[in-house]
Structure 1
Amino acid sequence: MSRIFTAQNFPFILAVVFIFFFGIMGIAPVSREVWVAEVIPVAGIFLLLCITFPLFRFSNISYGLMAVWLFWHTIGGHYTFAGVPFEWVTDLLGFERNHFDRIGHFAVGFYAYPIAELFVRRKLAGPIVTTLFALFTIMSVAAAYEIVEWQYAVIEGGKSGLEFLGSQGDVWDAQKDMLADTLGALATLILFWVFGKRWGSRG
């Protein structure tokens, strides 16, 4: 058993756990239409990581960070982000809205870590360009996703459109979501440059 749970096998174990979790969260979601829309990017990222694994294996830290968003977004797809049972956090901190989606956006920023890791290990650029590219990539994805949310809400309309948009009545929701993505990227880029070598993220 100890031979299975090794650092070398971490990505495989994580993938198996995620597949099982994804299947469970796909059972009787609150809104099947919202679930389909939400899990498309999750499934796309997961399949991309599986396909590229033989070509480039990220560090376990990178896979762990990327998995946070995969799991978090899958939960949001099951309940809809505004409907996730997150009241205890809302009540504890005195929030007026469910911030489960904000944390999910912050987790999107975690993908800046593997982007930086790829650039460093492949020697594609120096520290400044690597940092800026990783940061701007996350910011671009954040902006693009807000546009997708907007268009889905317009095209789909009705309750499912509003649930997918998840603004919860906040007129600045899109801007705050993009800020959360950016802050997540900045936080993980700091982790990368401060602790990356110690954690084995650089080759």
Structure 2
Amino acid sequence: MVTPAAHSAVSPAAPSRLPEVLAAVFVAVFVVLGIAPYDRTVWYMEVTPVIVIFLLLAGTARKFRFSGAAYLLMAVWLFWHTVGGHYTFERVPFGVITDAFGFARNHFDRVGHFSVGFYAYAFAELLTRRRLAGPVVTMLFGLFAIMAVACGWEILEWWVADAEGGEAGLAFLGSQGDVWDAQKDMLADTLGAVFALVLFRLCGRRWGSMDPV
């Protein structure tokens, strides 16, 4: 006979509802910020990748459910980019940070690029739990995957901005007069990936990110 205590000890823990909560909050925020954005054309360009990533994560959640930590990290970029799409990144009210550090430009977009690197955590988690690679290859794949995405985005951003032209094109490009903007954005992506991968190695097992499924 299995006592209630013994049964609870061997029963699997109920899955966290954090991903569903994050998804619900995101949809609400997305709808609100989709109302009267600063520039509707820029908004369409900025939120398109957000919609694609969100639908991809939602559509694959049953086949492969990431840890709560991975979903939380990935949600940062979704929220951040949605805010940037509403205002355009150059016009997001970020003056407190700009003034505090004496920056000459609005660095809201740089933080957004840093958060892109957080997806390296999910890449590492996927490879680890599916046992597709060892620790070294997993770390390198997570890093190089984000670097490739960063490079690809900058090329796409250039093409779209050049094709659109005018103020909308410049707003989407978001360089704010910095000739090294693309290189700095890619560096921010890479540093975000390094941060996420270090976090994965230090805390992944404790947060349930490395358990096989």
TMscore range, shorter length: over 0.9
Structure 1 pair 7/98, CA: closer, same or farther in 2 (3 Å)?
farther
Q: Work out whether residues 138 and 185 of structure 1, in 8 Å CA contact, stay in contact via their aligned partners in 2.
A: yes
1:88, CA displacement in angstroms? 1.1
**Residue 135 of structure 2 is aligned to residue 127 of structure 1:** yes
**Residue 155 of structure 2 is aligned to residue 153 of structure 1:** no
1:195, CA displacement in angstroms? 1.0
The corresponding residue for 1:90 is 98
1:118, CA displacement in angstroms? 0.4
The corresponding residue for 1:49 is 57
Give the partner amino acid of 1:88: V
TM-score, normalised to structure 1, is: 0.96
Larger Rg: 2
Identical-pair percentage: 63
Give the partner amino acid of 2:137: V
Question: CA–CA distance in 2 between the matches of 1:176 and 1:10?
Answer: 33
1:127, CA displacement in angstroms? 0.6
The corresponding residue for 2:189 is 181
Q: How many residues align?
A: 198
Q: How far does the alpha carbon of each residue in 1:91-115 deviate from its partner, in whole angstroms, 9 at most, with x for none? A: 0111000000000000000000010
The corresponding residue for 1:202 is 210
1:18, CA displacement in angstroms? 0.4
The corresponding residue for 2:46 is 38
Q: Which of 99, 111, 136 lines up with 2:144 in the alignment? A: 136
Q: Work out whether residues 106 and 183 of structure 1, in 8 Å CA contact, stay in contact via their aligned partners in 2.
A: yes
SS at match of 2:32: helix
Q: Work out whether residues 35 and 77 of structure 1, in 8 Å CA contact, stay in contact via their aligned partners in 2.
A: yes
Q: How far does the alpha carbon of each residue in 1:37-75 deviate from its partner, in whole angstroms, 9 at most, with x for none? A: 000000000000011001000000000000000000000
Q: Work out whether residues 65 and 110 of structure 1, in 8 Å CA contact, stay in contact via their aligned partners in 2.
A: yes
SS at match of 1:27: coil
Question: CA–CA distance in 1 between the matches of 2:162 and 2:50?
Answer: 22
Question: CA–CA distance in 2 between the matches of 1:107 and 1:159?
Answer: 26
1:199, CA displacement in angstroms? 1.2
Q: Work out whether residues 7 and 60 of structure 1, in 8 Å CA contact, stay in contact via their aligned partners in 2.
A: no
Q: Work out whether residues 112 and 138 of structure 1, in 8 Å CA contact, stay in contact via their aligned partners in 2.
A: yes
Question: CA–CA distance in 1 between the matches of 2:112 and 2:208?
Answer: 26
**Residue 211 of structure 2 is aligned to residue 169 of structure 1:** no
Question: CA–CA distance in 2 between the matches of 1:186 and 1:8?
Answer: 26
Q: Work out whether residues 116 and 130 of structure 1, in 8 Å CA contact, stay in contact via their aligned partners in 2.
A: yes
Structure 2 gaps of 5+ residues are 1-13
1:153, CA displacement in angstroms? 1.2
**Residue 121 of structure 2 is aligned to residue 113 of structure 1:** yes
**Which 4+ residue blocks in structure 1 deviate beyond 2 angstroms?**
none
The corresponding residue for 2:6 is none
1:7, CA displacement in angstroms? 6.4
